[in-house]
Chains A and B, each alone.
Chain A
Amino acid sequence: MIAQVIAYGIVVGALYGLVAIGLALLFGVARYLNITHGSFMMMGGYVSFWLFTLWHVDPFASVPLVMLVMFLIGLILYKTLFSPLSKLPEGLKINNSMLITFGLLWVLDNAGILLWTSDMRRVTPSYFGAMFEIFDVRLPFIGLGVIGLALLVVFALHLLLTKTYFGKSVRATTQDWEAAKLMGINIDRTYLVTCGIGVALAGVAGTAIALMYSITPGGGLEWLLIALIVLVLAGLGNIKGILIAGVMLGLVEAVSVYVVGAPYRAAVGLAIIVLVLMFRPQGLFTRRTRGA
Protein backbone atom coordinates (compact mmCIF):
# COMPACT_ATOMS: atom_id res chain seq x y z
CA MET A 1 0.00 0.00 0.00
CA ILE A 2 2.74 2.46 0.95
CA ALA A 3 4.53 1.64 -2.34
CA GLN A 4 1.34 2.64 -4.16
CA VAL A 5 1.24 5.91 -2.23
CA ILE A 6 4.86 6.66 -3.10
CA ALA A 7 4.33 5.82 -6.77
CA TYR A 8 1.33 8.17 -6.85
CA GLY A 9 3.38 10.86 -5.11
CA ILE A 10 6.11 10.64 -7.73
CA VAL A 11 3.63 10.96 -10.61
CA VAL A 12 1.96 13.99 -9.05
CA GLY A 13 5.35 15.39 -8.05
CA ALA A 14 6.62 15.20 -11.62
CA LEU A 15 3.60 17.24 -12.65
CA TYR A 16 4.36 19.74 -9.84
CA GLY A 17 7.88 20.12 -11.15
CA LEU A 18 6.52 20.72 -14.65
CA VAL A 19 4.07 23.28 -13.27
CA ALA A 20 6.85 25.29 -11.58
CA ILE A 21 9.72 25.13 -14.05
CA GLY A 22 8.60 27.90 -16.41
CA LEU A 23 7.89 30.23 -13.50
CA ALA A 24 11.30 29.44 -11.99
CA LEU A 25 13.08 30.07 -15.30
CA LEU A 26 11.56 33.50 -15.86
CA PHE A 27 12.02 34.53 -12.23
CA GLY A 28 15.57 33.20 -12.01
CA VAL A 29 16.75 34.84 -15.21
CA ALA A 30 14.83 38.08 -15.44
CA ARG A 31 13.32 38.60 -11.94
CA TYR A 32 9.78 38.80 -13.23
CA LEU A 33 7.26 36.99 -11.02
CA ASN A 34 4.50 35.93 -13.37
CA ILE A 35 1.25 35.56 -11.43
CA THR A 36 -0.56 34.65 -14.66
CA HIS A 37 1.57 31.50 -14.94
CA GLY A 38 -1.44 29.43 -13.80
CA SER A 39 -3.74 31.10 -16.32
CA PHE A 40 -1.25 30.34 -19.07
CA MET A 41 -1.28 26.69 -17.95
CA MET A 42 -5.03 26.68 -18.44
CA MET A 43 -4.64 28.38 -21.81
CA GLY A 44 -2.13 25.74 -22.90
CA GLY A 45 -4.53 23.09 -21.64
CA TYR A 46 -7.30 24.59 -23.80
CA VAL A 47 -5.09 24.56 -26.88
CA SER A 48 -4.44 20.88 -26.30
CA PHE A 49 -8.12 20.25 -25.50
CA TRP A 50 -9.35 21.85 -28.73
CA LEU A 51 -6.72 20.12 -30.81
CA PHE A 52 -7.90 16.83 -29.33
CA THR A 53 -11.62 17.53 -29.53
CA LEU A 54 -11.67 19.05 -33.02
CA TRP A 55 -8.91 17.14 -34.80
CA HIS A 56 -8.20 14.18 -32.51
CA VAL A 57 -4.61 15.20 -32.01
CA ASP A 58 -3.06 13.05 -29.29
CA PRO A 59 -2.34 15.28 -26.26
CA PHE A 60 1.30 14.19 -25.99
CA ALA A 61 1.74 14.84 -29.72
CA SER A 62 0.13 18.26 -29.33
CA VAL A 63 2.84 19.45 -26.93
CA PRO A 64 5.11 21.05 -29.58
CA LEU A 65 2.21 22.99 -31.06
CA VAL A 66 0.97 24.05 -27.61
CA MET A 67 4.51 25.24 -26.85
CA LEU A 68 4.68 27.24 -30.06
CA VAL A 69 1.36 29.00 -29.42
CA MET A 70 2.27 29.74 -25.80
CA PHE A 71 5.77 30.86 -26.77
CA LEU A 72 4.25 33.53 -29.01
CA ILE A 73 1.91 34.58 -26.20
CA GLY A 74 4.96 34.83 -23.93
CA LEU A 75 6.65 37.16 -26.44
CA ILE A 76 3.56 39.37 -26.53
CA LEU A 77 3.44 39.40 -22.72
CA TYR A 78 7.05 40.55 -22.55
CA LYS A 79 6.73 43.17 -25.28
CA THR A 80 3.57 44.71 -23.89
CA LEU A 81 3.79 44.40 -20.10
CA PHE A 82 7.27 43.36 -18.98
CA SER A 83 9.68 45.34 -21.15
CA PRO A 84 8.60 48.71 -19.66
CA LEU A 85 9.77 47.35 -16.29
CA SER A 86 13.15 46.17 -17.54
CA LYS A 87 15.04 49.28 -16.41
CA LEU A 88 13.78 49.10 -12.81
CA PRO A 89 15.96 47.87 -9.95
CA GLU A 90 15.46 44.25 -8.97
CA GLY A 91 13.06 44.70 -6.03
CA LEU A 92 10.73 47.04 -7.92
CA LYS A 93 10.83 44.77 -10.93
CA ILE A 94 9.60 41.82 -8.86
CA ASN A 95 6.87 43.86 -7.16
CA ASN A 96 5.62 45.57 -10.29
CA SER A 97 5.63 42.41 -12.39
CA MET A 98 3.55 40.75 -9.66
CA LEU A 99 1.02 43.59 -9.61
CA ILE A 100 0.71 43.80 -13.38
CA THR A 101 0.31 40.07 -13.89
CA PHE A 102 -2.15 39.91 -11.00
CA GLY A 103 -4.33 42.32 -12.96
CA LEU A 104 -3.77 40.37 -16.15
CA LEU A 105 -4.88 37.21 -14.36
CA TRP A 106 -8.40 38.59 -13.84
CA VAL A 107 -8.60 39.77 -17.42
CA LEU A 108 -7.47 36.43 -18.83
CA ASP A 109 -9.55 34.26 -16.51
CA ASN A 110 -12.72 36.21 -17.28
CA ALA A 111 -11.96 36.31 -20.98
CA GLY A 112 -11.58 32.52 -20.71
CA ILE A 113 -15.09 32.23 -19.27
CA LEU A 114 -16.50 34.31 -22.14
CA LEU A 115 -14.67 32.30 -24.77
CA TRP A 116 -14.89 28.78 -23.45
CA THR A 117 -17.53 28.96 -20.66
CA SER A 118 -16.62 27.97 -17.13
CA ASP A 119 -17.27 24.26 -17.81
CA MET A 120 -14.64 21.82 -16.62
CA ARG A 121 -12.82 20.25 -19.51
CA ARG A 122 -10.45 17.35 -19.72
CA VAL A 123 -8.65 15.46 -22.41
CA THR A 124 -9.60 11.78 -22.51
CA PRO A 125 -7.63 9.82 -25.10
CA SER A 126 -8.26 6.10 -25.67
CA TYR A 127 -5.62 5.09 -23.14
CA PHE A 128 -7.27 7.24 -20.47
CA GLY A 129 -7.55 5.19 -17.29
CA ALA A 130 -5.27 2.40 -18.58
CA MET A 131 -3.01 1.05 -15.89
CA PHE A 132 0.39 -0.46 -15.82
CA GLU A 133 1.01 -2.94 -13.01
CA ILE A 134 4.34 -3.88 -11.49
CA PHE A 135 4.91 -5.56 -8.06
CA ASP A 136 1.35 -4.79 -6.95
CA VAL A 137 1.86 -1.10 -7.76
CA ARG A 138 -0.61 0.27 -10.28
CA LEU A 139 0.50 3.23 -12.33
CA PRO A 140 -1.65 5.05 -14.88
CA PHE A 141 -0.12 5.20 -18.37
CA ILE A 142 -0.82 8.90 -18.42
CA GLY A 143 1.14 9.35 -15.19
CA LEU A 144 4.12 7.59 -16.72
CA GLY A 145 3.79 9.82 -19.76
CA VAL A 146 3.81 12.92 -17.55
CA ILE A 147 6.95 11.71 -15.73
CA GLY A 148 8.56 11.20 -19.13
CA LEU A 149 7.44 14.66 -20.24
CA ALA A 150 8.85 16.27 -17.08
CA LEU A 151 12.21 14.52 -17.49
CA LEU A 152 12.31 15.48 -21.15
CA VAL A 153 11.60 19.13 -20.39
CA VAL A 154 14.26 19.31 -17.65
CA PHE A 155 16.81 17.57 -19.87
CA ALA A 156 16.06 19.78 -22.87
CA LEU A 157 16.25 22.91 -20.73
CA HIS A 158 19.56 21.74 -19.30
CA LEU A 159 20.96 21.17 -22.79
CA LEU A 160 19.68 24.55 -23.95
CA LEU A 161 21.26 26.38 -21.03
CA THR A 162 24.63 24.64 -21.04
CA LYS A 163 25.30 23.72 -24.67
CA THR A 164 23.99 26.57 -26.79
CA TYR A 165 25.27 30.11 -27.18
CA PHE A 166 21.82 31.43 -26.36
CA GLY A 167 21.75 29.38 -23.15
CA LYS A 168 25.16 30.62 -22.11
CA SER A 169 24.04 34.18 -22.69
CA VAL A 170 20.98 33.47 -20.51
CA ARG A 171 23.16 32.19 -17.67
CA ALA A 172 25.58 35.08 -18.04
CA THR A 173 22.70 37.56 -17.89
CA THR A 174 21.36 35.82 -14.77
CA GLN A 175 24.72 36.02 -13.00
CA ASP A 176 25.60 39.61 -13.94
CA TRP A 177 23.36 41.43 -16.38
CA GLU A 178 25.58 44.49 -16.58
CA ALA A 179 28.67 42.45 -17.42
CA ALA A 180 26.55 40.55 -19.94
CA LYS A 181 25.76 43.83 -21.70
CA LEU A 182 29.47 44.64 -21.80
CA MET A 183 30.03 41.34 -23.62
CA GLY A 184 27.65 42.45 -26.36
CA ILE A 185 24.63 40.50 -25.14
CA ASN A 186 21.32 42.21 -25.87
CA ILE A 187 19.79 41.43 -22.51
CA ASP A 188 16.38 42.72 -23.52
CA ARG A 189 16.29 40.05 -26.21
CA THR A 190 17.49 37.45 -23.72
CA TYR A 191 14.62 38.36 -21.38
CA LEU A 192 12.14 38.33 -24.26
CA VAL A 193 13.03 34.81 -25.39
CA THR A 194 13.23 33.56 -21.80
CA CYS A 195 9.72 34.88 -21.20
CA GLY A 196 8.54 33.05 -24.31
CA ILE A 197 10.11 29.80 -23.11
CA GLY A 198 8.69 30.24 -19.58
CA VAL A 199 5.15 30.67 -20.91
CA ALA A 200 5.64 27.78 -23.37
CA LEU A 201 6.55 25.58 -20.41
CA ALA A 202 3.35 26.69 -18.68
CA GLY A 203 1.59 25.36 -21.76
CA VAL A 204 3.31 21.97 -21.39
CA ALA A 205 2.19 21.82 -17.76
CA GLY A 206 -1.34 22.77 -18.82
CA THR A 207 -1.47 19.90 -21.29
CA ALA A 208 -0.49 17.50 -18.51
CA ILE A 209 -3.09 19.02 -16.17
CA ALA A 210 -5.82 18.61 -18.79
CA LEU A 211 -4.85 14.93 -18.98
CA MET A 212 -4.44 14.13 -15.28
CA TYR A 213 -6.99 16.49 -13.76
CA SER A 214 -9.16 19.04 -15.53
CA ILE A 215 -9.04 22.63 -16.70
CA THR A 216 -11.38 25.59 -16.19
CA PRO A 217 -10.74 29.26 -16.97
CA GLY A 218 -10.30 30.09 -13.26
CA GLY A 219 -8.44 26.92 -12.41
CA GLY A 220 -4.98 28.39 -12.80
CA LEU A 221 -4.79 30.00 -9.39
CA GLU A 222 -4.61 26.69 -7.58
CA TRP A 223 -1.76 25.58 -9.85
CA LEU A 224 0.01 28.89 -9.44
CA LEU A 225 0.01 28.26 -5.70
CA ILE A 226 1.62 24.87 -6.21
CA ALA A 227 4.19 26.42 -8.55
CA LEU A 228 5.04 29.02 -5.89
CA ILE A 229 5.42 26.37 -3.19
CA VAL A 230 7.80 24.38 -5.41
CA LEU A 231 9.69 27.59 -6.22
CA VAL A 232 10.23 28.36 -2.54
CA LEU A 233 11.19 24.75 -1.82
CA ALA A 234 13.84 24.74 -4.53
CA GLY A 235 15.05 28.23 -3.68
CA LEU A 236 14.04 31.30 -5.68
CA GLY A 237 15.96 31.42 -8.91
CA ASN A 238 17.15 27.84 -8.69
CA ILE A 239 16.15 25.96 -11.83
CA LYS A 240 18.17 22.81 -11.22
CA GLY A 241 16.32 21.80 -8.04
CA ILE A 242 12.80 22.34 -9.38
CA LEU A 243 11.94 18.79 -10.46
CA ILE A 244 13.31 17.30 -7.22
CA ALA A 245 11.43 19.89 -5.17
CA GLY A 246 8.25 19.08 -7.12
CA VAL A 247 8.61 15.35 -6.50
CA MET A 248 9.30 16.01 -2.81
CA LEU A 249 6.10 18.05 -2.52
CA GLY A 250 4.18 15.35 -4.37
CA LEU A 251 5.51 12.66 -2.03
CA VAL A 252 4.83 14.62 1.15
CA GLU A 253 1.30 15.37 -0.02
CA ALA A 254 0.63 11.76 -0.99
CA VAL A 255 1.90 10.45 2.33
CA SER A 256 -0.07 13.07 4.25
CA VAL A 257 -3.26 12.09 2.39
CA TYR A 258 -2.56 8.50 3.44
CA VAL A 259 -1.82 9.41 7.07
CA VAL A 260 -4.08 12.35 7.95
CA GLY A 261 -6.65 12.34 5.14
CA ALA A 262 -7.31 14.14 1.88
CA PRO A 263 -8.90 17.33 3.25
CA TYR A 264 -5.52 18.43 4.64
CA ARG A 265 -3.62 18.04 1.37
CA ALA A 266 -3.44 21.76 0.54
CA ALA A 267 -2.71 22.69 4.16
CA VAL A 268 0.34 20.42 4.13
CA GLY A 269 1.75 22.26 1.14
CA LEU A 270 1.30 25.62 2.84
CA ALA A 271 2.78 24.30 6.08
CA ILE A 272 5.86 23.25 4.11
CA ILE A 273 6.21 26.79 2.71
CA VAL A 274 6.07 28.25 6.23
CA LEU A 275 8.63 25.77 7.55
CA VAL A 276 11.02 26.33 4.66
CA LEU A 277 10.75 30.11 4.97
CA MET A 278 11.41 29.87 8.72
CA PHE A 279 14.36 27.52 8.68
CA ARG A 280 15.82 27.59 5.22
CA PRO A 281 14.64 30.73 3.41
CA GLN A 282 17.20 30.29 0.64
CA GLY A 283 15.45 27.02 -0.34
CA LEU A 284 16.53 23.44 0.02
CA PHE A 285 18.87 23.33 -2.97
CA THR A 286 20.45 26.77 -3.01
CA ARG A 287 23.57 27.84 -1.19
CA ARG A 288 23.01 30.93 0.92
CA THR A 289 25.83 32.90 -0.62
CA ARG A 290 26.56 32.84 -4.29
CA GLY A 291 30.08 33.06 -5.72
CA ALA A 292 32.20 36.23 -5.76
Chain B
Amino acid sequence: MLEISKIDVYYGDLQALWDVSLTIEDGEIVALVGSNGAGKSTTVKTISGLLKPRSGSISYNGIRLDKLPAHKMVELGICMVPEGRRLFPEMSVLENLEVGAFVSQARKAKDETISRVYHIFPVLKDRASQAAGTLSGGEQQMLAIGRALMSQPKLLLLDEMSLGLAPLLVRSLSQVIRQINKSGVTLLLVEQNVHMTLELADRGYIMENGRIVDQGDAGVLLGSEQVKHAYLGIM
Protein backbone atom coordinates (compact mmCIF):
# COMPACT_ATOMS: atom_id res chain seq x y z
CA MET B 1 0.00 0.00 0.00
CA LEU B 2 2.68 2.47 1.08
CA GLU B 3 6.30 2.09 0.18
CA ILE B 4 9.04 4.35 1.46
CA SER B 5 12.27 3.69 -0.30
CA LYS B 6 15.62 4.99 0.91
CA ILE B 7 14.65 8.53 1.85
CA ASP B 8 17.03 11.15 3.19
CA VAL B 9 15.32 14.10 4.88
CA TYR B 10 16.91 17.38 5.97
CA TYR B 11 15.90 20.32 8.11
CA GLY B 12 17.78 23.01 6.25
CA ASP B 13 21.34 21.66 6.19
CA LEU B 14 20.75 19.28 9.06
CA GLN B 15 20.15 15.71 8.02
CA ALA B 16 17.44 14.06 10.11
CA LEU B 17 16.81 10.79 8.25
CA TRP B 18 19.31 8.48 6.60
CA ASP B 19 18.25 5.91 4.05
CA VAL B 20 14.91 5.12 5.65
CA SER B 21 12.84 2.39 3.99
CA LEU B 22 9.50 1.19 5.28
CA THR B 23 6.49 -0.57 3.84
CA ILE B 24 2.92 -0.79 5.00
CA GLU B 25 0.55 -3.42 3.62
CA ASP B 26 -3.19 -3.02 3.28
CA GLY B 27 -5.02 -3.71 6.55
CA GLU B 28 -1.96 -3.78 8.79
CA ILE B 29 -1.13 -2.01 12.00
CA VAL B 30 2.52 -1.04 11.75
CA ALA B 31 4.49 0.38 14.66
CA LEU B 32 7.36 2.83 14.29
CA VAL B 33 9.06 3.05 17.65
CA GLY B 34 12.19 4.57 19.10
CA SER B 35 13.32 7.11 21.63
CA ASN B 36 12.77 10.85 21.53
CA GLY B 37 14.60 12.43 18.59
CA ALA B 38 15.10 9.18 16.68
CA GLY B 39 13.39 10.56 13.59
CA LYS B 40 9.95 8.98 13.93
CA SER B 41 8.02 12.23 13.70
CA THR B 42 10.18 13.34 10.79
CA THR B 43 9.25 10.12 8.99
CA VAL B 44 5.48 10.61 9.36
CA LYS B 45 5.73 14.29 8.52
CA THR B 46 7.47 13.28 5.31
CA ILE B 47 4.75 10.75 4.49
CA SER B 48 2.06 13.37 5.07
CA GLY B 49 3.90 15.86 2.87
CA LEU B 50 4.84 18.49 5.46
CA LEU B 51 8.49 17.66 4.76
CA LYS B 52 10.00 16.64 1.43
CA PRO B 53 12.74 14.03 1.07
CA ARG B 54 15.92 15.18 -0.64
CA SER B 55 16.45 11.73 -2.12
CA GLY B 56 14.53 8.48 -2.24
CA SER B 57 10.85 8.05 -2.98
CA ILE B 58 7.50 7.44 -1.35
CA SER B 59 4.75 5.75 -3.30
CA TYR B 60 1.20 4.93 -2.36
CA ASN B 61 -0.68 2.40 -4.47
CA GLY B 62 1.65 3.31 -7.31
CA ILE B 63 1.30 7.10 -6.91
CA ARG B 64 4.43 9.09 -6.13
CA LEU B 65 3.71 11.06 -2.95
CA ASP B 66 6.99 12.86 -2.41
CA LYS B 67 6.24 15.53 -5.01
CA LEU B 68 2.67 16.25 -3.90
CA PRO B 69 1.61 19.06 -1.52
CA ALA B 70 0.38 18.01 1.93
CA HIS B 71 -3.29 18.76 1.31
CA LYS B 72 -3.39 16.29 -1.63
CA MET B 73 -2.56 13.35 0.67
CA VAL B 74 -5.94 13.66 2.34
CA GLU B 75 -7.71 13.34 -1.00
CA LEU B 76 -5.73 10.16 -1.63
CA GLY B 77 -6.89 8.74 1.71
CA ILE B 78 -3.87 9.38 3.92
CA CYS B 79 -4.55 11.35 7.09
CA MET B 80 -2.30 12.16 10.01
CA VAL B 81 -3.09 12.81 13.65
CA PRO B 82 -0.20 15.10 14.55
CA GLU B 83 1.80 15.03 17.73
CA GLY B 84 0.28 17.36 20.32
CA ARG B 85 -3.19 16.94 18.76
CA ARG B 86 -3.09 20.31 16.98
CA LEU B 87 -6.81 20.94 17.20
CA PHE B 88 -8.36 24.24 16.17
CA PRO B 89 -8.70 25.48 19.76
CA GLU B 90 -11.21 28.28 19.27
CA MET B 91 -13.54 26.24 17.11
CA SER B 92 -16.18 23.96 18.59
CA VAL B 93 -15.80 20.18 18.73
CA LEU B 94 -18.37 19.85 15.94
CA GLU B 95 -16.60 22.43 13.77
CA ASN B 96 -13.30 20.60 14.23
CA LEU B 97 -14.99 17.44 12.98
CA GLU B 98 -16.52 19.32 10.05
CA VAL B 99 -13.15 20.70 9.03
CA GLY B 100 -11.86 17.13 9.17
CA ALA B 101 -14.30 16.32 6.36
CA PHE B 102 -13.00 19.16 4.18
CA VAL B 103 -12.09 17.17 1.07
CA SER B 104 -15.00 16.69 -1.32
CA GLN B 105 -15.53 12.90 -1.09
CA ALA B 106 -15.56 13.11 2.71
CA ARG B 107 -17.83 16.13 2.75
CA LYS B 108 -20.60 14.23 1.01
CA ALA B 109 -20.65 11.59 3.74
CA LYS B 110 -20.13 14.08 6.55
CA ASP B 111 -23.26 13.45 8.63
CA GLU B 112 -22.83 9.70 8.47
CA THR B 113 -19.18 9.90 9.50
CA ILE B 114 -19.98 12.26 12.36
CA SER B 115 -22.45 9.78 13.84
CA ARG B 116 -19.84 7.05 13.43
CA VAL B 117 -17.27 9.16 15.30
CA TYR B 118 -19.82 9.94 18.03
CA HIS B 119 -20.46 6.22 18.32
CA ILE B 120 -16.74 5.57 18.88
CA PHE B 121 -16.28 8.56 21.22
CA PRO B 122 -19.64 9.33 22.86
CA VAL B 123 -18.07 12.10 24.96
CA LEU B 124 -17.52 14.17 21.82
CA LYS B 125 -21.25 14.25 21.23
CA ASP B 126 -21.82 15.67 24.72
CA ARG B 127 -19.18 18.29 24.11
CA ALA B 128 -20.16 19.09 20.51
CA SER B 129 -20.67 22.83 20.99
CA GLN B 130 -17.74 23.34 23.38
CA ALA B 131 -14.53 25.01 22.17
CA ALA B 132 -11.91 22.34 21.46
CA GLY B 133 -9.29 24.19 23.54
CA THR B 134 -11.36 23.67 26.69
CA LEU B 135 -11.39 19.85 26.46
CA SER B 136 -9.26 17.66 28.72
CA GLY B 137 -6.11 16.08 27.28
CA GLY B 138 -7.80 12.73 26.70
CA GLU B 139 -10.84 14.28 25.09
CA GLN B 140 -8.58 16.35 22.85
CA GLN B 141 -6.84 13.19 21.67
CA MET B 142 -10.20 11.59 20.95
CA LEU B 143 -11.21 14.65 18.96
CA ALA B 144 -7.91 14.62 17.07
CA ILE B 145 -8.51 10.99 16.07
CA GLY B 146 -12.17 11.69 15.33
CA ARG B 147 -11.25 14.67 13.18
CA ALA B 148 -8.86 12.52 11.15
CA LEU B 149 -11.51 9.80 10.74
CA MET B 150 -13.82 12.43 9.27
CA SER B 151 -11.67 12.46 6.14
CA GLN B 152 -12.47 8.74 5.67
CA PRO B 153 -8.82 7.72 5.52
CA LYS B 154 -7.58 4.42 4.19
CA LEU B 155 -4.24 4.97 5.91
CA LEU B 156 -4.17 6.71 9.28
CA LEU B 157 -0.90 7.97 10.73
CA LEU B 158 -0.95 8.45 14.51
CA ASP B 159 1.94 10.46 15.91
CA GLU B 160 2.57 10.04 19.67
CA MET B 161 -1.02 9.29 20.51
CA SER B 162 -0.29 8.20 24.09
CA LEU B 163 1.94 11.15 25.02
CA GLY B 164 0.81 12.76 28.26
CA LEU B 165 -2.25 10.56 28.73
CA ALA B 166 -3.16 8.42 31.74
CA PRO B 167 -2.42 4.67 31.28
CA LEU B 168 -6.07 3.74 31.65
CA LEU B 169 -6.99 6.11 28.84
CA VAL B 170 -4.17 4.80 26.65
CA ARG B 171 -5.56 1.29 27.10
CA SER B 172 -9.03 2.33 26.00
CA LEU B 173 -7.59 4.22 23.02
CA SER B 174 -5.77 1.02 22.06
CA GLN B 175 -9.14 -0.72 21.94
CA VAL B 176 -10.42 2.05 19.70
CA ILE B 177 -7.46 1.63 17.39
CA ARG B 178 -8.18 -2.09 17.02
CA GLN B 179 -11.77 -1.22 16.25
CA ILE B 180 -10.73 1.35 13.62
CA ASN B 181 -8.37 -1.19 12.07
CA LYS B 182 -11.14 -3.82 11.92
CA SER B 183 -13.31 -1.35 10.03
CA GLY B 184 -10.73 -1.47 7.24
CA VAL B 185 -8.30 1.34 8.04
CA THR B 186 -4.58 0.68 7.81
CA LEU B 187 -2.58 2.26 10.63
CA LEU B 188 0.93 3.49 11.29
CA LEU B 189 1.53 4.08 14.99
CA VAL B 190 4.48 6.27 15.87
CA GLU B 191 5.27 5.97 19.54
CA GLN B 192 7.76 6.27 22.34
CA ASN B 193 5.52 3.92 24.27
CA VAL B 194 7.21 0.84 22.81
CA HIS B 195 5.47 -1.87 24.79
CA MET B 196 1.90 -0.72 24.20
CA THR B 197 2.54 -0.12 20.52
CA LEU B 198 4.25 -3.41 19.73
CA GLU B 199 1.48 -5.30 21.53
CA LEU B 200 -1.05 -3.61 19.31
CA ALA B 201 0.83 -3.83 16.01
CA ASP B 202 1.31 -6.61 13.46
CA ARG B 203 4.79 -5.49 12.46
CA GLY B 204 7.25 -2.98 13.80
CA TYR B 205 10.20 -0.82 12.87
CA ILE B 206 12.72 0.49 15.38
CA MET B 207 14.45 3.80 14.76
CA GLU B 208 17.59 5.23 16.24
CA ASN B 209 19.44 8.40 15.26
CA GLY B 210 17.52 8.84 12.03
CA ARG B 211 17.94 5.26 10.81
CA ILE B 212 15.85 2.11 10.88
CA VAL B 213 17.87 -0.28 13.05
CA ASP B 214 15.54 -3.24 13.33
CA GLN B 215 12.29 -4.47 11.91
CA GLY B 216 10.05 -7.47 11.92
CA ASP B 217 7.05 -9.16 13.43
CA ALA B 218 5.82 -7.12 16.39
CA GLY B 219 5.72 -10.12 18.74
CA VAL B 220 9.28 -11.07 17.83
CA LEU B 221 10.53 -7.50 18.33
CA LEU B 222 8.80 -7.35 21.68
CA GLY B 223 10.66 -10.48 22.76
CA SER B 224 14.03 -9.46 21.35
CA GLU B 225 16.88 -8.81 23.77
CA GLN B 226 17.73 -5.49 22.14
CA VAL B 227 14.23 -4.05 22.60
CA LYS B 228 13.94 -5.36 26.15
CA HIS B 229 17.27 -3.82 26.96
CA ALA B 230 16.96 -0.47 25.28
CA TYR B 231 13.32 0.43 25.68
CA LEU B 232 11.59 -1.68 28.26
CA GLY B 233 14.21 -1.48 30.98
CA ILE B 234 14.20 -5.26 31.40
CA MET B 235 17.62 -6.84 31.90
Tally A-B pairs: CB < 8 A.
83
Q: Could you mark each residue 129-148 of chain A with 1 if its beta carbon is under 8 Å from any beta carbon of chain B, else 0?
A: 00000000000000000000
CB-based contact B107/A165 at 8 Å: yes
Given known A-B contacts A182-B48, A184-B151, A175 and B74 have beta carbons under 8 A apart: no
Q: Which partner residue on chain A sits nearest B132 by CB separation?
A: A291
Q: Is A119 an interface residue (CB 8 A)?
A: no
In the bound assembly, the distance between CA atoms of A248 and B48 in angstroms comes to 46
Q: Which partner residue on chain B sits nearest A176 by CB separation?
A: B86
Q: Which partner residue on chain A sits nearest B70 by CB separation?
A: A181
CB-based contact B95/A179 at 8 Å: no
Q: Which partner residue on chain B sits nearest A188 by CB separation?
A: B69
Chain A contacts for B140, CB-based, 8 A: 292
Beta-carbon contacts under 8 Å, B77-95 to A? 79-80, 82, 86-91, 95
Chain A contacts for B71, CB-based, 8 A: 181, 183-187
Chain A contacts for B74, CB-based, 8 A: 182-184
One of B11-19, B97-105, B196-204, B219-227 at the interface: B97-105
Chain A contacts for B73, CB-based, 8 A: 184
Chain A contacts for B131, CB-based, 8 A: 291
CB-based contact A183/B133 at 8 Å: no
CB of B51, distance to nearest CB on chain A (Å):
11
Q: Which partner residue on chain B sits nearest A166 by CB separation?
A: B102
In the bound assembly, the distance between CA atoms of A169 and B133 in angstroms comes to 17
- CB-contact partner of A178 in B75, B82, B95, under 8 A: B82
CB-based contact B99/A168 at 8 Å: yes
In the bound assembly, the distance between CA atoms of A168 and B95 in angstroms comes to 7
CB-based contact B79/A168 at 8 Å: no
CB-based contact B102/A183 at 8 Å: yes
CB-based contact A184/B103 at 8 Å: yes
Given known A-B contacts A186-B69, A186-B71, A291-B133, A181 and B50 have beta carbons under 8 A apart: yes
| Interface residue ranges, B against A (CB under 8 Å) | 48-50, 69-75, 79-80, 82, 86-91, 95, 98-100, 102-103, 106-107, 131-134, 140, 147, 151
